[in-house]
Structure 1
C-alpha cells in the first residue's frame, strides 16, 4: 500500500453557519465551492476546492471550534489575502516561527483556526 496524497481535510461547524462560511472561504479566500453529493446535502455544511485538494466543513451537533488543528492554505499573494481578511473584519496573526516561511493565522467565522502561507 502506498499513500498517494490527501484528498480532503474536514473541519466542523455549527448548523446554520454555511452562509458565513461561504462568505469567508469563497468571498475572502477566493476558494471555489464544490457541490456536495445529493445524498450528503441534507447533513448541511459546505465543501471547497483548494488546489487539487478539498476542504470540507461538516455540521457537528456539539460544535467546538478547532483552535490547534487547522488547514494551511497556500496562496500566491500573502499580503493581498491578509488585506482581504482584515477588510472582512478578521484578525491576522503573523507568525515567523518557521525561518523563511511567510504565513499568518486567522479564524473562520465559527472560530476554526486557518493558516495562510505564501507559496
Structure 2
C-alpha cells in the first residue's frame, strides 16, 4: 500500500552540482542532505525542506524537464516568489488552478518547478 511520496528525482548534467547547490540552498532555502557513500560516487546532490526531498541525479545526455515537474507547497507564496525573483530566479504566475495561487520557476539547469499555496 502507498503511504506517501518519499522524494522526487530530477536529472542534471554532469558537473552541475555547485550550481544546483547554490540554487536549491541559497535561492530556495532548502538544506543539502548527505547521499549514502555508494550513491555519492555517482555525483548529484539531495536537498530537503520540511518533509520534501528533491534528489538531483547526474544524467549523461541530459535534457531539462520542461513539462514534467514537482509541485511544491509553500507558505506565504507572494513573499516566496519575491525571494526567488530577488535572487535572480524566473517567476511565472499561473492563475488557472482553482483554489490555488501558483507560479513556475526553473532551476539553473532548466528543470521546471511549480510552487503552490492556497488562494487568498
TM-score (norm 1): 0.93
Matches within 5 A, 1:1-40: 2-40=1-39
Tell me the equivalent position of 1:81.
80
Aligned residues: 118
Deviation at 1:62, TM superposition (A): 0.6
Task: List gaps (5 residues or longer) in structure 1.
Answer: none
Q: Deviations over 1:38-74 (max 9, x none)?
A: 1111111110114323110000001000001101111
Unaligned runs of 5+ in 2: none
SS at match of 1:86: helix
Aligned residue number for residue 54 of structure 1:
53
Kept in 2, the 8 Å contact 1:50–1:73? The answer is no
Secondary structure of 1:102 counterpart: strand
| TM-score of the two chains, using structure 2 as the length reference | 0.92
Runs (4+) off by over 4 Å: none
RMSD: 1.2
